[in-house]
Amino acid sequence: MIMDTTSLTEGIQLALAPVFLLTAVANLVSALTQRLARVVDRSRFLQDRLQEMDGYTVNQQAVFETELRHLATRGWLINISMAFVVICGVMIGLTVLELFLAETSGGKLQLNRVVLSTFVSGIGSFVFALVILLTEVLVASYSIRLKRHPH
């Protein structure tokens, strides 16, 4: 099968447009990973302090346990957001493949519905990931406001 250069060029251009969304996905994965690492580090610190328990009052232990519950919630939200970001990346990757295959097949492959489905699924997953990330940020802000420092 001989492909005409114009068709190939258009196929590549069409397929590369969603790749910019993949850059946003990679950046969001990085940000979520950093947030999760901070949650894990803080949780380990608090768990170590609770195991020592020397010199802490029952009230101080309760403060640590409350913070650990908030951290667990935050970790769960970050993991859910990460799952939606990964789904987004997979869907956009499939969209790129579908667009390229449809364009370079000389019109033999009609993937309009499939392309639409994967692209909309990818964008929807990205939006859900952002909403869940916002929820995690709000939980983090809320837990800071509620934090009581024992005297």
Residue boundaries of the structural domains of the chain? 22-40+69-146
What gap in Å lies between CA 51 and CA 42, rounded to an integer?
Answer: 14
Model confidence pLDDT, tens digit, residues 3-58: 566 766 766 666 667 878 889 999 999 999 999 999 999 999 989 888 887 666 77
Query: Looking at residues 72-101, what average pLDDT do you find?
Result: 93
44 token code pair: 């380990």
The least confident of 72-86, 103-117, 130-144 is: 103-117
Does position 145 have pLDDT exceeding 80, yes or no? Answer: no
pLDDT of res. 144: 76
Choose among 10, 5, 26: nearest CA to 99: 10
Average pLDDT over residues 52-80: 86
Which pLDDT belongs to residue 60? 80
Q: Which two tokens stand for residue 88?
A: 């987004």
Q: What is the CA 63 to chain-centroid distance, rounded?
A: 29
- pLDDT computed for residue 36 by the predictor: 96
Residue 134 has pLDDT above 90, yes or no: yes
pLDDT of 135 above 90: yes
Q: What is the pLDDT of residues 88-130, one digit of tens each?
A: 999 999 988 888 787 777 666 677 788 889 989 999 999 999 9
